[in-house]
């Protein structure tokens, strides 16, 4: 019998349709999203995985969307209701963190809190941070905020009448605050070395590595990432080993009990296990820290506490200079509440209603961590869609904080929206406003971060009037941001200070 000859064009079209059908078939129950290619999936869209790129995709696909990145499932969440599903309703399933080869290596195999999965180990690290490291009772951290803000005001006053790079000023400030809170030292040389290590870590954390998405291609390392990773970790080892040894010998000589304790001292108690047994919360009995834990935790504190706070202060000043009526109003409030014959103090804050709204509005428009990363620990369903175990879930706080169904004129800087009764708060139960996240993995450094932000901002606004250089108009200020671990201003804010208080600033 003659075999049936299928014409070539029909054969070709049928094959293509079959492939498309096979790609589409298993996605049926997944959230909507752009169709990907075999094997690489949506990896050609990698550059769109930023807060802005994902917000754009959400306009087309909705509050929950799915992307296949090589072999990894990625889900982006961009609406308040979907965020509530992830961070509240199914918080227990989405409390893990996705990781990469670089993060695993640089955190000593996830020996920290921020990148470890939700586990008994994470709970211990969280307890340690909340009760010891970032606790309001650790007065030394709050003291270091006040002292460093003081020296920032002095150095700004010295430069009055000349252009000040406010971005550099506030990034320097937060490095000083956190460096001192962590290590107790203010040595400038050491700090410069440490900032260089932090910058290398930041670059490596966000470096693209094909092996994260297609593991069997791990032998391909065109940029020499692996050797950069080991050089960066060696540098950190060398730096922190020295600091830890200094702390151990200081403790032997003098006993830290009598001295100001920094975060390394707090953690070394658990390393050497010399602390008082049976403290009220019984931390001592169940936490034992290795040196790797201590190093990894220090990096959490550094990453969590420096760029976040600095970019929030710079954005607040930028938005105020961009909106002169708001700047005038907040400075008038400072004059009315505090007066011009003394500096602002912590006890003034509760009366600075509009100032607090400026802080909230800045964190709404420019959440310092625009996209937070979670991972599902089991197969589950969200909004009826299947979310496979191990999915990387990107919660886009930037898009959520600008959700047009929740906010009027969402892209406009308008602090007075927070004066309205019932306006959302950032403590985590209003899912349209998530600068600090919500649920189990929400920010443990919120109190310290807000304190540093408010202190620095209030002083800069109360002590000085600010003018743009070279006759620049407010509307000409560059408002673009760059995407990394945080989303700071792309171009630093520069302005000219003039003292506005009747009392001396230095
Ligand atoms: C304005 C200041 C800050 C903002 C807006 C901020 C925001 C955030 C956000 C959005 C998260 C992730 C939440 C999630 O995954 O759902 C986070 C986590 C974290 N933050 Fe902050 N943060 C700030 C300041 C700080 C400070 C000052 C510290 C420490 C000194 C800190 C330490 C951390 C740590 C360690 C985590 C990881 C927690 C975990 O995984 O369990 N943050 N922060």
The model's pLDDT over 118-146, given as tens digits with 9 standing for 90+, comes to 999 999 999 999 988 988 888 888 999 99
- The percentage of residues in the chain with a pLDDT greater than 70, rounded to a whole number, is 89
Mean pLDDT, residues 328-356: 97
| pLDDT of 220 above 90 | no
> Distance from the CA of 481 to the center of ligand 1, in angstroms?
20
| pLDDT of 373 above 90 | yes
Mean pLDDT computed over every residue of the chain: 89
**What's the pLDDT score for residue 277?**
40
- Mutate which of 376, 436, 487 for ligand 1 pocket (most atoms within 8 A of beta carbon): 436
| pLDDT of 103 above 50 | yes
**What's the pLDDT score for residue 195?**
85
Q: Are 67 and 36 in contact (CB under 8 A)?
A: yes
| pLDDT of 112 above 80 | yes
**What's the pLDDT score for residue 135?**
87
* Distances, alpha carbon 196 to alpha carbons 114, 173, 236, 326, in Å: 21, 16, 10, 37
- pLDDT bin (cut points 50, 70, 90) of residue 221 is confident
Q: Which atom of ligand 1 is nearest to the CA of 97?
A: 40
Q: Are 379 and 388 in contact (CB under 8 A)?
A: yes
Side-chain-side CA neighbours of 101 within 13 Å: the count stands at: 19
- pLDDT bin (cut points 50, 70, 90) of residue 284 is low
Give the separation between CA 26 and CA 166, rounded to whole angstroms.
51
| pLDDT of 446 above 90 | yes
| pLDDT of 280 above 90 | no
- The CB density around residue 306, as the number of other CB atoms within 10 Å, is 23
Over the range 219-257, which residues count as b (16 or more CB within 10 Å of their CB) and which as e? Answer: eeeeeebeebbeebbebbeebbeebbeebeeebeeeebe
Give the separation between CA 33 and CA 121, rounded to whole angstroms.
35
Which segments are annotated as binding site for heme? 443
- Taking only the tens place, the pLDDT of each residue in 463-485 is 999 999 999 999 999 999 998 88
> Distance from the CA of 303 to the center of ligand 1, in angstroms?
9
> Distance from the CA of 297 to the center of ligand 1, in angstroms?
13
Which residues make beta-bridge pairs with 231? none
- CA-nearest residue for atom 9, ligand 1, is 436
Q: Are 173 and 310 in contact (CB under 8 A)?
A: yes
Give the separation between CA 105 and CA 97, rounded to whole angstroms.
15
Which residues make beta-bridge pairs with 290? none
Which residues make beta-bridge pairs with 465? 498
Q: Supply the CATH classification number for the domain 120-499.
A: 1.10.630.10
Mean pLDDT, residues 349-368: 98
CA 199 to chain centroid: 15
Q: Are 125 and 153 in contact (CB under 8 A)?
A: no
Q: Which atom of ligand 1 is nearest to the CA of 372?
A: 15
Mean pLDDT, residues 231-242: 91
**What's the pLDDT score for residue 427?**
85
**What's the pLDDT score for residue 458?**
98
220 in helix, strand or coil? coil
| pLDDT of 202 above 90 | no
| pLDDT of 279 above 60 | no
Which residues' Cβ are closer than 6 Å to ligand 1? 113-114, 126, 134, 300-301, 304-305, 308-309, 312, 368-369, 372, 435-437, 441-445, 448-449, 453
> Distance from the CA of 436 to the center of ligand 1, in angstroms?
6
> Distance from the CA of 326 to the center of ligand 1, in angstroms?
28
- pLDDT bin (cut points 50, 70, 90) of residue 275 is very low
- pLDDT bin (cut points 50, 70, 90) of residue 390 is very high
- pLDDT bin (cut points 50, 70, 90) of residue 2 is very low
**What's the pLDDT score for residue 19?**
59
- Mutate which of 445, 447, 457, 486 for ligand 1 pocket (most atoms within 8 A of beta carbon): 445
């Amino acid at each position: 019998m003659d075999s049936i000859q299928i014409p070539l064009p029909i054969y070709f079209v049928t094959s293509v349709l079959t492939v498309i059908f096979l790609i589409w078939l298993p996605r049926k129950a997944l959230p909507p999203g752009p169709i990907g290619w075999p094997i690489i999936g949506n990896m050609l869209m990698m550059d769109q995985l930023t807060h802005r790129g994902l917000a754009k995709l959400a306009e087309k696909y909705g509050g929950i969307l799915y992307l296949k990145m090589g072999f990894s499932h990625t889900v982006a969440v961009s609406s308040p209701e979907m965020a509530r599903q992830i961070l509240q309703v199914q918080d227990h399933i989405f409390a893990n963190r996705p990781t990469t080869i670089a993060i695993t290596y640089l955190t000593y195999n996830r020996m920290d809190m921020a990148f470890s999965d939700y586990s008994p180990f994470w709970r211990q690290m969280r307890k340690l941070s909340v009760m010891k490291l970032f606790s309001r009772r650790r007065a030394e951290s709050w003291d270091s905020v006040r002292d460093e803000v003081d020296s920032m005001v002095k150095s700004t006053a010295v430069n009055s009448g000349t252009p000040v790079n406010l971005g550099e000023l506030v990034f320097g400030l937060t490095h000083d605050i956190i460096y001192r809170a962590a290590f107790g030292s203010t040595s400038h040389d050491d700090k410069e070395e440490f900032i260089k290590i932090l910058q290398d870590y930041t670059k490596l954390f966000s470096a693209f590595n094909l092996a994260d998405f297609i593991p069997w291609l791990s032998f391909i390392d065109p940029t020499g990432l692996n050797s950069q990773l080991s050089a960066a970790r060696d540098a950190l080892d060398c730096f922190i080993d020295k600091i830890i040894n200094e702390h151990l010998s200081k403790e032997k000589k003098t006993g830290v009990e009598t001295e100001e304790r920094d975060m390394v001292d707090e953690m070394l108690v658990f390393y050497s296990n010399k602390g008082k047994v049976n403290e009220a919360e019984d931390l001592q009995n169940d936490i034992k820290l290795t040196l790797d834990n201590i190093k990894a935790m220090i990096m959490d504190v550094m990453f969590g506490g420096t760029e976040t706070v600095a970019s929030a202060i710079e954005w607040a000043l930028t938005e105020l200079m961009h909106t002169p009526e708001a700047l005038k109003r907040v400075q008038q409030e400072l004059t009315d509440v505090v007066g011009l014959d003394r500096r602002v103090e912590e006890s003034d804050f509760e009366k600075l209603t509009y100032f607090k709204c400026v802080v909230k509005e800045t964190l709404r428009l420019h959440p310092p961590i625009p996209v937070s990363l979670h991972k599902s620990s089991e197969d589950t369903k969200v909004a009826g869609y299947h979310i496979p175990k191990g999915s990387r879930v990107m919660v886009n706080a930037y898009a959520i904080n600008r959700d047009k169904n929740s906010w009027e004129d969402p892209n406009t800087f308008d602090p007075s929206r927070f004066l309205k009764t019932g306006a959302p708060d950032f403590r985590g139960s209003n899912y349209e406003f998530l600068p600090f996240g919500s649920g189990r993995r929400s920010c443990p450094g919120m109190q310290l971060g807000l304190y540093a932000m408010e202190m620095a901002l209030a002083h800069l606004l109360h002590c000085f009037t600010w003018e743009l250089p070279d006759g620049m108009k407010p509307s000409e200020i560059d408002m673009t941001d760059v995407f990394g671990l945080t989303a700071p201003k792309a171009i630093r804010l520069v302005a000219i200070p003039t003292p506005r208080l009747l009392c001396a600033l230095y």
